Amino acid sequence: MSKFKKSSSKELPPISTASLPDIVFMLLFFFMVSTTMREVTLMVKVTLPQATELSKLEKKSLVSYIYIGTPHQQYQNVFGNEPRIQLNDQFATLRDIPDYITSEREARDEAERPMMITSLKVDEFTKMGIVMDLKQELRKMAALHINYSARKKAER
Amino acid sequence: MARKVPEIPSASLADIAFMLLIFFLVTTTMDVDSGLERVLPRWVDPEEIDDDTPPIRERNVFIVLVNKNDQLMVEGEPMDVENLREAAKEFMANPYDDEDLPEKELKEVPFFGQVEVTKGVISLQNDVGTTYSKYIAVQNELVGAINDLREELARSQFGKPYNNLTRDQQDAIRTIYPSKISEAEPKKVGGN
């Protein structure tokens, strides 16, 4: 009887924190694996348009990105506030597109090159003029497979 | 006689792991890139375009125009984006063999046998001043129309959603409803 009493003493035993690091590590590994680091710092403002018929970009390694949008505030006194093209980490013009596509191709394996996709991340308020010019450049470079990046729209 | 090495305190291990965890939480972008997938037509040198190719008949072309004020004109009639999907579906399917809607040709398709396949082509033309969001909205409706038709056919033929079909079955459906959305060459016309 006395034994029973002792085990139900008023003081709660402290919760063991020995497994806390293990739990945290588990979370850590999950995030490490699922993380894709932002590769470029965006210098243009891109708000993607909305669409419903989306398809996912399966292989990230095959995708090269082209951004179009108005430059952020701190670049506006140099680059103006008209929509500009951004490739990698710098502003570009249409004349840089062929070089960019070529260098992106060079960076991939020979076998993967036909499957490459160019993802266009274009701000929704951009006028089509610059996009049409860009598409013509892509056609000249035979980078025909493109993806108009868009956000998922809630079902009507 | 080996000296006793003092035990390394592991109390701060959790803190270190937390710090790493927070770093990865902050830098993580979980969003999967998605968008409308299109294939551009091959580049043709303007001088090499030969006009020998037979012109496409008017009834086989579904002309969608978007002007600089983001207004739509479909087959000569003003239209809202909301109605575009239905119109495009009716054009591509042509269920009653209407005189004004596209012709069909018989084709041998696996799983289906002899099927009438539409010769229709959707032509999308936009102005330099069209906003990108409108352009995407129109593209979305056109792609959606074709996706809807494929979905309906998949359900009626195989009783399954299109995405659950095998690759061959999907190919068969794709031959019946091809994704023929042509984006016209930009035209150099004044007055916009």
Task: Note the pLDDT tens digit of each residue in B99-137.
Answer: 778 888 888 888 888 888 888 888 888 888 889 999 999
> What are the beta bridge partners of residue A34?
none
- Residues B101 and B161: beta-carbon distance below 8 Å: no
Instruction: Mark yes or no for CB contact B147/A20 under 8 Å.
Output: no
Instruction: Mark yes or no for CB contact B17/A119 under 8 Å.
Output: no
B145 within domain boundaries: yes
Instruction: Mark yes or no for CB contact B33/A57 under 8 Å.
Output: yes
Residues making up chain A, counted from first to last: 156
Instruction: Mark yes or no for CB contact B35/A150 under 8 Å.
Output: yes
Q: Where are the domains of chain A?
A: 44-152
Mean pLDDT value across residues A117-142: 89
In whole angstroms, give the CA distance from residue A104 to residue A96.
Answer: 12
Q: What is the pLDDT of residues B2-40, one digit of tens each?
A: 678 888 777 788 788 888 888 888 877 666 678 888 888
> What are the beta bridge partners of residue A45?
A70
Choose the closest CB to A131 out of B13, B43, B132: B132
Domain count, chain B: 1
SS3 assignment for B130-168: CEHHHHHHHHHHHHHHHHHHHHHHHHHHHCCCHHHCCHH
State the nearest Cα–Cα gap between B22 and chain A, in angstroms: 8
Residue A130 has pLDDT above 50, yes or no: yes
Mean pLDDT value across residues B66-84: 88
Residue in B with minimal Cα distance to A63: B33
The residues near A48 (Cβ < 8 Å, ≥ 6 apart) are A121, A122, A123, A124, A149, A150, A151
Q: B130: which chain A residues are within 8 Å (Cβ-Cβ)?
A: 127-128
Choose the closest CB to A31 out of B21, B39, B139: B21
- Pick from B152, B134, B154, B149: which is nearest to B85 by CA? B149
Residue A1 has pLDDT above 70, yes or no: no
Instruction: Mark yes or no for CB contact A57/B127 under 8 Å.
Output: no
Residue in B with minimal Cα distance to A23: B14
User: Per-residue confidence at A123, pLDDT binned at 50, 70, 90?
Assistant: very high
Residue A6 has pLDDT above 60, yes or no: no
B20 within domain boundaries: no
Reduced to 3 states, what is the DSSP secondary structure of residue A66? Answer: strand
Q: A57: which chain B residues are within 8 Å (Cβ-Cβ)?
A: 32-35
Residue A16 has pLDDT above 70, yes or no: yes
In whole angstroms, give the CA distance from residue A137 to residue A120.
Answer: 13
Domain housing B69:
56-183
Residue A78 has pLDDT above 60, yes or no: yes
Q: Is the dihedral of CA B122, A144, A87, A95 positive or negative?
A: negative
B96 shares contact with chain A (CB less than 8 Å): no
Residue A103 has pLDDT above 60, yes or no: yes
Q: A60: which chain B residues are within 8 Å (Cβ-Cβ)?
A: 33
Rounded to the nearest integer, the mean pLDDT of chain B is: 82
Amino acid at A109: D
User: Per-residue confidence at A88, pLDDT binned at 50, 70, 90?
Assistant: confident
Instruction: Mark yes or no for CB contact A28/B21 under 8 Å.
Output: yes
Q: Pick the residue with more confidence: B52 or B153?
A: B153
B27 within domain boundaries: no
Mutate: best of A19, A24, A65, A155, partner B, most B CBs <10 A: A24
B103 within domain boundaries: yes
What is the structure's pLDDT at A68?
92
Rounded to the nearest integer, the mean pLDDT of chain A is: 84
What is the structure's pLDDT at B23?
84
Mean pLDDT value across residues B85-100: 84
In whole angstroms, give the CA distance from residue B6 to residue B21.
Answer: 29
State the nearest Cα–Cα gap between A10 and chain B, in angstroms: 27
Q: Is the ipTM above a cut-off of 0.85?
A: no
State the nearest Cα–Cα gap between B87 and chain A, in angstroms: 17
B127 shares contact with chain A (CB less than 8 Å): yes
- Pick from B74, B92, B87, B81: which is nearest to B150 by CA? B92
Residue A3 has pLDDT above 60, yes or no: no
